[in-house]
Structure 1
Amino acid sequence: MGIMQNGLVTQLRSISLAAQEVAAGSSHIAESNLDLSSRTEEQASSLEETASAVEELAASVRQTAQNSVEASRLVSQGNDIAQQNGQMMEAMRNQMRRISDSSGKMGEIITTIESIAFQTNILALNAAVEAARAGEQGKGFAVVASEVRTLAHRSATAAKEIKDLIDGSMQQVQQGRSLAEQVQETMQEMVRNAGGISQIIRQITQANTEQSAGIDQINSAVGQIDTATQQNAALVEATASAAMSLQEQARTQADALTYFRFEAADRRAAPRTDAAGNPPAGTLRLVSA
């Protein structure tokens, strides 16, 4: 009986110690879970802020992409207008060249008229000399020769004035032609620059597209992390609940063991063995709480 009582005391003491260790461990787990829960909430809040910032960045990238598309459209439109203007300037330059050629031909005709007027003047002068030699019979012919000389002189004067006007017009046409060439060259440079700008805008648009795809992936990853964080929070809450339940059960078990009081035998006064030859055991008594 003493051996059984001693073994029961040992088992009950082990159970009591285990219950105390379980209670202490459960309390430590509960405290750790509270700290982990707080950190999980902070992580979830940070993830929400990150997701919001990424969404704002995505909206900015989308707006930039739209602006790039609009800029590309405007540059393309300006390029078309510049090409049309360049074609118009080329046509105007060709027209000025034709005007210059016509003016040159007119100048040649005026030169011919001046030569004819000069020769007519010489002939009229000779006719006047011959009329003077003829005396009375050549007076009428002399009047005609004088009129012819006057007309020849007027024709030469008019031809010279016309030639001066044509020369001035040719100078202006030449200046206009030179200006048209400069404008056309400027238009061509604008077209080349517009092509370069269009290429840059296409590169920006492509980069925005790639950035948008990358941001979508980041959004997806943040969403997955947020989901995992929420799951972790749920697991932490469940673990905390289980730890609290275990702590409560350990406390209940410890409370139940308080009904037992363990009294050790006085080893100085007690004999080494009892009447049956067994060693003395601690005394186990059931007491009320």
Structure 2
Amino acid sequence: MKKNKTQKLMLKDKLLKNVRGILICTIIALSLLAGIALQISYDSSAFEKRQNFDTEIKTAVDSLISALTVNYQRYENGEITKEEALASSEEIVRNTRYNNGNGYFWADTADGLCVVHMNPDYEGTNRLDAVDKKGTYYIRNVIKAADNGTNFSEFYFTKPNVNGIFKKRAYTAKFEPYGWYISTGNYYDDINKAILTLRFKQSISDIILILVSILSVLIGTKQLNKVISKITEPLTTVTKRLHMLSQGDVYSPGSENITETDETGILANAENNLIKQLQIIVEDITVNLSKISSGDLRISTDKAYTGDFIPIQKSIKDITSYLNEVLLSINQASNQVRGGASQVSDMSRTLADGATEQAGVIEELSASLDEVSYHVEKNTVSVDKASDYIRQINDKSREGNEKMQSLLAAMENIERTSKEIGSINRTIGAIAARTNLLALNASIESARLGNEGKGFAVVAEEMRQLAGQSAAAVNDTETLIETALAAVANGSQNTADTAEQLVKITDMINEFKDIMREIDSESRQQNNELKEITQGIGQISGIIQNNVAAAEECSAFSEDLNTQAVLLFENIDKFTLIENM
């Protein structure tokens, strides 16, 4: 649940959370290090303070012994007597003070006799067996410390002008001329007061360090928020615009107000260039597809396509160029077919009129042989003329059949090209699927990398959405191609039917041509053999009847061909083509 909440945070919140955590940890670590350093420093100061107290009493004893030595040298030099030297030495020990008058000295002999003490109650008493409140023979320890060279000893003793027994640390050195053990010491409560002052200063320093750390966290967090906001605000702007772009919004302005020269500025500039390029391409494709949907194939793709968009521009050009070429050929063929069908229809009507006229001639022949001869000669001329027309019709029919075969080949080429386009479209669909798979893998990798990879999860999601939109566009394109293939298949079937009708018309024209040759032969025979005119008239009557039926059938076929040609021309005329291709 916590991981999901972290994933839903925006980049600014993630950066602020992580960097703030690092900042706090760093400040805590530095504070701990500083605290440890302060602790070590104050511990060292406390140790030095204790050492200073030891040094102070050692120096005091050494100084006192130096003074006693000087005094004893005066006796040795004969300046004073032995008694005066001894008395003077006692006064020196008794009256010498240090540490603002708080430090004093006393002297004991090896057998425990107190020779000199600031407290007259102790002078002249033997304290060798004296013990403190812990049961320690402190005088023995003092003498022992001086003899073995350790010099320092600890015991509990009274404190001048203060009630109670206090722990004391003493330093003892032996003055050899008199055998005195000169001692002085510091009370531990005085030492602890000095160390307590240091500890109080240490506590003040710790409090200041904590306050400075807290203030550093607050100020650092505030400054960090400003810095991260400055970094993430352009990214947020670019992300929102790219999200709008993924939803199909191409024409909204880009992030042109971002003027930074760092990576965010480079990203914003790339986004602006992408949007401008897409605006150009979408506008160009929209205009050209609108023209195609309205039947206007006079399109141009002169916009500046770049990168992977260049094949799209080339495909549009190739498709429109090929459609122009094919439809223009169909248009020309339909014009020729329509013209040929009109001629066949006219010739069929002419042939029917001629057959009717021949029937009238046969009726007149029964009344007059001269008139029959005249009509026979006229029939011969008409047959020659009809033969010429039949040859022309046959040539036009053959030419129309060839054009229809070319039209069939062109329609098959359109169908094959549409299938190739469908194959390319499926390839694009496969690329979209692979892009979707790559986006999914990128999402998995970003989740596996944790916080370091979460910044890429947004980009991976955008890739997945773009792949989905590409797949949808591919499906729409496949639907359009399938519709086009169905239309081409229908046109191919109609063209094949028309070609079959042209073949039938050609066969009928050839049959009619044979009949006309037979009429010509009969007419010439009637002209040479008028004696057989009755029989010839009967034959001519039968032939004329056949001619009338053939002419009517040919006229019907020519009318049907003309209708199909007009329909084909009307469909082709819906497209506006480039005539000079």
Q: Scaled by the length of structure 1, what TM-score is found?
A: 0.54
* Residue in structure 2 matched with residue 156 of structure 1 by the alignment: 471
Within the candidate set 456, 459, 464, 1:141 is matched to: 456
Q: Which has the larger radius of gyration?
A: 2
Report the CA distance shift for 1:64/1:186 in structure 2 as closer, same or farther (over 3 A). Answer: same
8 Å Cα contact 2:439-2:460 kept in structure 1: yes
Q: For 1:125 and 1:160, how far apart are their aligned partners in 2?
A: 21
Match in the other structure for 2:488: 173
Per-residue CA deviations over 1:230-257 (Å, capped at 9, x if unaligned) read xxxxxxxxxxxxxxxxxxxxxxxxxxxx
Alignment partner of 1:123 is 2:471: no
Report the CA distance between 1:132 and its aligned residue.
Answer: 3.7
Distance 2:510 2:403 in 1: 20
1:109–1:217: structure 2 CA closer, same or farther, 3 Å change rule?
closer
**Aligned to 2:521, which of 206, 212, 220?**
206
**AA partner of residue 157 (structure 1):** A
Cα distance in 2 between the residues matched to 1:62 and 1:126: 95
Greater RCO structure (CA 8 Å; 6+ sep): 1
Task: In structure 1, give the amino acid aligned to 2:446.
Answer: A
Q: Deviations over 1:36-66 (max 9, x none)?
A: xxxxxxxxxxxxxx9x932211111111222
| Residue pairs, 1:43-192, within 5 angstroms | 53-192=368-507
**Partner Cα distance (1:72, 1:144) in 2:** 81
Look up the match of 1:273.
none
Any unmatched runs of 5+ in structure 1? 1-49, 219-289
Aligned pairs for 1:265-276 within 5 A: none
* Closer, same or farther: CA 197–217 of 1 in aligned 2, 3 Å: closer
**Alpha-carbon distance in structure 2 between the residues aligned to 1:134 and 1:155:** 28
CA distance in 2, matches of 1:178, 1:140: 58
Cα pair 2:401 2:502 within 8 Å, conserved: yes
For 1:216 and 1:148, the matched residues in 2 are separated by 100
CA–CA distance in structure 2, aligned partners of residues 181 and 168 of structure 1: 20
Alignment gaps of 5+ in structure 2: 1-364, 534-581
**Which residue of the partner structure matches residue 237 of structure 1?**
none
Cα deviation per residue 1:96-151 (whole Å; 9 max; x = unaligned)? Answer: 11121122222122112212211211220231233244444334312221221122
Aligned partners of 1:213, 1:140: CA distance in 2, in Å? Answer: 109
Contact 2:412 2:492 in 1 (8 A): yes
Distance in structure 2 (CA, Å) of the matches to 1:132 and 1:155: 25
How far the C-alpha of 1:152 sits from its partner, in A, is 0.9
- Residue 158 of structure 1 and its aligned partner are, at CA, apart by 1.2
Residue type at the aligned position of 1:206: S
Counterpart of 1:89, as a letter, is M
Return the alpha-carbon distance in structure 2 between the equivalents of residues 53 and 200 of structure 1: 26
Residues 120/217 of structure 1: CA separation in 2 closer, same or farther (3 Å cut): closer
Number of equivalences = 168
- In structure 2, C-alpha distance between the alignment counterparts of 1:197 and 1:140, rounded to whole Å: 86
CA distance in 1, matches of 2:532, 2:417: 71
- C-alpha separation in 1, matches of 2:376 and 2:442: 96
CA contact (8 A) 2:526 2:532 kept: no
Equivalent residue of 2:368, what SS?
helix
State the superposition RMSD in angstroms. Answer: 2.3
Alignment match of 1:197 (pick from 509, 512, 517): 512
* Whole-Å separation in 2 of the counterparts to 1:197 and 1:178: 28
Identity of aligned residues (%): 32
> CA shift at 1:216, angstroms?
9.5
Please state how far the C-alpha of 1:197 moved relative to its aligned partner. 0.2
1:215 partner amino acid: L
TM-score where L is the length of structure 2: 0.27
CA distance in structure 1 between the aligned counterparts of 2:532 and 2:432, rounded to whole angstroms: 93
Q: Separation in 1 of the partners of 2:442 and 2:493?
A: 50
**Which residue of 1 is the match for residue 530 of structure 2?**
215
In structure 1, how many angstroms separate the alpha carbons of the residues matched to 2:508 and 2:532? 36
